[in-house]
Structures are given as structure tokens and as C-alpha cells.
Structure 1
């Protein structure tokens, strides 16, 4: 988890588009969500978050292959505290199991 989340940033997630679409309704924690073609809009308080994504080539390590998406997060009218709270929940919700 990051210490701060700017109004706009890009990150890579190890998932397929289908997985992301399954996660989004829960990951936005009950907020209004509109899904579009390879993008989504989430209402956060008096502002919004626009997500846009595209597939990247899979990451390959030896015989293992992991799907990847590049996701752009763009917050408008969402203050730093709201961005941090939203992203904290989003990150925990979309975190894969491990160690």
C-alpha cells in the first residue's frame, strides 16, 4: 500500500480483464459504479474516479505465465483523504492470497 495517492497514476495488476470486472463491484465498497468498454467510473463523495485499462503481455517466469493489466486511475474532485481511504479498501479487496 502506498503512503499517498496522487489524483492520477497508473499501475500494473496481475489479473485478467474478466477477473477485474468480477472484483470491481465489491472493490468500490458499495459506491455507484458504471462499467464501459475497458473503463469504469466510480462516484466517490462529490467527485469521481475514472479507471481505464488495457491488457499487457503476460509476465513469464520459467514455465509460469501471469496475466497483466495496465490500469490508469484518475480522480476528479476527490481529496487526498478520500483517495487514500478508497485505495486502501480497493487494494485490500483485490489483493491475491499468498505467504
Structure 2
């Protein structure tokens, strides 16, 4: 996950190295209050008046030599709340979904 610097817009797209199942699993761990999902690769969570919908679109895997990484476009769409609420929610999700690495 990439951390946001500056104001969080109402809509943003991210490229993520994960499968839809991995992304959903990590999101559920990061947001134990509840994540709703459906078969169309749409995930939704609520934080008070703020609702976040994440639409997942699988992309072609990234290949680096013999290494193959899955890729997703994760489209974040916020409704309700203000910029401060969006920043707080996204910061919390980014920290909780951060993977190890070097």
C-alpha cells in the first residue's frame, strides 16, 4: 500500500500486488468492524457517516525474470464524511494492510 501525502480525494486508484482474495482477506483483517462484499469484486466498509467502496479489477501479472506478481487495480470511492475522515480511514487501512519487505 502506498501512503497518501496531502488531501485524500473522494476517488483514487491504486495498483496493488495481490489477488482479489488476498486483498479481501487483508482488508477484513484491517477492518474487523465488517466488510461487505459481493461476487462482482466490490468491497464496502463504513466508518460512521463515511462509506468506502473498493472496486477490484484484476490486471495482467507483472513478470520480472522468473518472478511473477499478481496485480489489481483497486478503485477507492468515498461517500459522505469529509477530507479529515477520509484521511483517517485511509491511514488506518494503509498501516494495517502494509506488508513486510525490504
Q: Does 1:44 align with 2:47?
A: yes
Partner residue of 1:10? 13
RMSD, aligned CA: 1.3
The one-character-per-residue Cα deviations of 1:13-49 (angstroms, maximum 9, x if unpaired) are 1011111121121222x43421112001111211211
Query: How many residue pairs were aligned?
Result: 98
Partner residue of 2:35? 33
Say whether the 8 Å CA contact 2:50–2:86 is kept in structure 1: no
Q: What 5-or-longer segments of structure 1 have no aligned partner?
A: none
In 1, Cα distance between equivalents of 2:50 and 2:96: 21
In 1, Cα distance between equivalents of 2:49 and 2:95: 23
In 1, Cα distance between equivalents of 2:36 and 2:62: 29
Partner residue of 1:74? 77
In 2, Cα distance between equivalents of 1:24 and 1:47: 16
Q: What 5-or-longer segments of structure 2 have no aligned partner?
A: none
Partner residue of 1:24? 27
